[in-house]
Amino acid sequence: KKRTVVLISGRGSNMTALIAAAGDPAYPAEIVGVISDRANAAGLGIAAARGIATKVITRADHASKDAHDAAIEAALVTFGAELVALAGYMRILGGRFVEKWKGRMVNIHPALLPAFKGLDTHARALRAGMRIHGCTVHFVTPDMDDGPIIAQAAVPVMIGDNEDTLAARVLKAEHRLYPLALGLVAEGKARMEGGHTVFAHFVDDADNGT
Ligand code: GAR
């Protein structure tokens, strides 16, 4: 099982979905720790209640962005992390940090990338008149919401949707998608190579269809 640390900033519902999935003995990743950059993140209590170690590492407690990143890196080493899953982590990690975790750090974004990078994705999708919307899990690269896509889920935009109803529909999809995508990475079935996601295919020489 791949030792995985989840980074959060708030509610932690995607973190909770990953913890739940990892409760299955057959799941290829285990959640060994949760790090939050906010002391009052609701997800911290949820993780603790499930017996998972938590750590708060705020930007305010560090002199520079580099020092903050270094403290997170040190915590990941202490946790023995092999994979990092960003789950509503609302801070941009520095280039050196991202480089170190290249191919081993994933993020979930509440839109069908490359559309709607950044914030307020649901309001922007509504304003654009989109009839479908969704979420994306991707490898993290230095440019925000720009890394190779691992998996996506689409949901319909319904007549009469507002930001909240659409966000709720996407969030349900996120909770299914993230465990699936992290599982693919943990199993080595999706990996980052040359700036792209390479998927293992399931046909080998012995299985030529005959
Ligand atoms: C999720 O919708 C996630 O996709 C989004 O924040 C929410 C966190 O909810 N992430 C981003 O916007 C990243 N820029 P959660 O804390 O309940 O998982």
Query: Does the C-beta of 197 come closer than 6 Å to ligand 1?
Result: no
Instruction: Report which protein residue has its CA nearest ligand 1's atom 7.
Output: 88
Instruction: Evaluate if residue 195 carries a pLDDT over 60.
Output: yes
Residue 91, annotated as binding a ligand: yes
How many other CB atoms sit within 10 Å of the CB of residue 96?
12
Of 62, 68, 109, 175, which is the active-site residue? 109
Question: What is the residue with the minimal CA distance to atom 8 of ligand 1?
Answer: 88
pTM of the model: 0.96
pLDDT band for 205, please (50, 70, 90 cuts): low
- pLDDT for residue 121: 98
87: CA distance to ligand 1 center in Å?
Answer: 6
Token pair belonging to 34? 């949760």
pLDDT at 201: 76
87-132 pLDDT, tens digit each: 999 999 999 999 999 999 999 999 999 999 999 999 999 999 999 9
Evaluate: CB of 171 within 6 angstroms of ligand 1: yes
Q: Is the CB of 104 under 6 A from ligand 1?
A: no
pLDDT: is 201 or 164 the higher one?
Answer: 164
Q: pLDDT at residue 35 above 60?
A: yes
93 is in an annotated binding site: yes
User: What is the pLDDT at residue 19?
Assistant: 98
Q: What is the DSSP string of 171-187?
A: HHHHHHHHHHHHHHHHT
Q: What percent of the chain lies above the pLDDT cut of 70?
A: 96
Could you read off the pLDDT of 62-73 as tens digits, one per residue? 999 999 999 999
pLDDT tens for residues 131-177? 999 999 999 999 999 999 999 999 999 999 999 999 999 999 999 99
